[in-house]
Amino acid sequence: MISETLLIVSLVSIWMSLLMSTLTLTGATHFWLRHATKLVTTEPLPAYPKITIVVPAHNEELVIAKTTRAILDMNYPASKVELILIADNCTDHTADVMRAILNSRAYRFRNARVMERRGGGGKAGALNDALKMATGDYIGVYDADAMPEENALYFLVKETLKDPDQRVAVFGRNKTRNAKQNFLTKCINQEIVVTQRIQHCAIWHMFKIGRIPGTNFIIRRDFVESIGGWRDGALTEDTDISFTIMQSGKLIALAYNSEAFQQEPETLHDYYFQRLRWAKGNYQVVVHNFRHLFDHSNWRVKLETFYYSCTFFWFNAAIILSDAIFLANVVALGVHLFNPSVSLPFTFGEGNILIAQLLLFNWLLMIILYALQISIAMATQIGQATTSDDQPGLDGAGGLLYLQPAVYHHLRARGLLGDRRWPLPP
C-alpha cells in the first residue's frame, strides 16, 4: 500500500510538471510566432533618461577591461551615461585595470569613476553603496564578466519608455560568452538559451511577469530608494528584488532584443559552487515569500511563489523520490537474478495495469517536451540551431534522465523478472 501511494505521488508530480512545461512551451511558441519576423530597428527614442551603470567586481582583473570598454561603447548618448565601477574587496589588480581603462585617451572625459569597497553585504551591499552615489534616473547593472551588445542599453530603455510609470524595471537576455570552450559550457549555454528563450518569454507574454537576472537590466532609481535598496546579504539579490517589485504591483518588462555576453564556469568545481549559491539564494527567497500564498498579495507574487515552491520543493522532492524508487527496483532486479523469490518493491498489481502504462506514457511525453523546448529555443537564437549545439542536451542530459526506463524495460523484455506484467517505471 505504501509503495503504491509513493508511485501515485510520483505520477501526480510528473503530471503537474508536464502541465507547467506544456503551458510554458505554448506561450513561448506563440510569442516567437508573433515576434520572430518583426524588423528590429534603432530609431531615435522619444527621450534618453540618464542611466547610472553599476559594475560590481570581485577579483575580475582578467575580464573587467573588455566589459568596461563594451559598456562605454554602447549605442546611447555618452552624456546620459554615468558609470560606477566597484572593486569589491579585491585582492588582485581589478581596480588598477579599471583606472587604466578610464584614464585612456578614448574614455578620459567620460562620466565614470572607480570605487574600492571594503565591507560585507555581498553584491547587494555593493549595489547599495553605488545607489548612494548614483545620479541617474535608472540604475543599470552589469556583472564584471558580462559584455553588453552595442544596443543592449538602447533596447532596455526603449521598453521602459512604453510605460515608464508601470515598468519600473526592464531586463534583457544573457548569452554564454565562452559557449564553445568545452562540453560543460555547451550544456550551460543550452540551459541559458532554453531558460531565456522559452521560460522568460512565455511568462512575460502570458502573465506580464518578469524575473530580473543578475546582469543586463535597468531599474528606476527612485523606486529602489523607496524600498530601501537591495536586501544586504541576499544570495540572489535579483530574485529577491523581483518579488519586491511584483508585490508593489509594478512590472518587470522583458526586452528580448537586449543582449549581454557572460562568462560561464568552465570546470565542474566552479559550476557546482555557482549553482549551490543560486540554490541557497532561491530557497531563501521562497521561504521568505511563502506567506504570500495565503495573504492578499498581488496575484503575480502568488503565481511566482507557487512556481518557485513547486520547482525547489515539490519537484525536487519528486525527483529524489523517483530516483529512490528506481534504485530500489534496480537493486531488487539484481537480487532477483540470484534469488527468484525477490520481487520489485515498487510496482502496481495486475488490476492497475493502466496506471503503469500511463506512467510509461508520461516518460515519453517528457522526452518529447524536453526535445521541443531545446529545438524551439535554439531555432529562435541565431547561430544556435545546429547539430553540435543541440547534441549536449539531447544526447547528454536527456540521455542520463531517460536511461532509467529504457534499462528497466530492456530487463523486463529479456524476462529477467519471471512474470510478464507491465512494470511501472519509477
| Residue among 203, 163, 151, 155 nearest 307 (CA) | 203
pLDDT in tens, the chain (426 residues): 676 677 777 778 878 888 888 999 999 999 999 988 888 889 999 999 999 999 999 999 999 999 999 999 999 999 999 999 999 999 999 999 999 999 999 999 999 999 999 988 889 999 999 999 999 999 999 999 999 999 999 999 999 999 999 999 999 999 998 988 999 999 999 999 999 999 999 999 999 999 998 899 999 999 999 999 998 776 678 888 999 999 999 999 999 999 999 989 999 999 999 988 888 888 888 888 899 889 888 899 999 999 988 888 888 888 888 788 888 888 988 998 888 888 877 776 555 667 667 777 777 888 888 888 888 888 887 654 454 555 555 544 444 444 444 433 443 444 433 343 333 333
**The residue type at 353:** I
Q: Which pLDDT score, from 0 to 100, does residue 65 have?
A: 96
C-alpha cell at 92: 588582485
What is residue 87's predicted lDDT score, i.e. its pLDDT? 95
**pLDDT at residue 418, rounded to an integer:** 37
Give the whole-angstrom CA distance, residue 253 versus residue 258. Answer: 12
pLDDT at residue 52 in the model: 98
Q: Name 230's Cβ contacts closer than 8 Å, sequence gap at least 6.
A: 124, 125, 127, 128, 131, 224, 237, 240, 241
CA atoms of 24 and 36, how far apart (whole Å): 17
Q: What are the DSSP calls for 337-374, one per residue?
A: HH-TT---SS---GGGHHHHHHHHHHHHHHHHHHHHHH
* C-alpha–C-alpha distance, residues 407 and 391, integer Å: 21
| DSSP states along 119-169 | SSSHHHHHHHHHHHH--SSEEEE--TTEEE-TTHHHHHHHHHTTSTTTEEE
Q: How many CB atoms lie within 10 A of CB 268?
A: 9
Which pLDDT value is given to residue 227?
Answer: 93
pLDDT at 356: 64
- What structural domains does the chain harbor? 2-26+304-413 (no CATH), 50-285 (3.90.550.10)
Q: What is the pLDDT of residue 316?
A: 82
* CA 198 – CA 23 distance, rounded (Å): 11
Give the cell for residue 409. Answer: 524495460
Who contacts 118 (Cβ-Cβ below 8 Å, separation ≥6)? 89
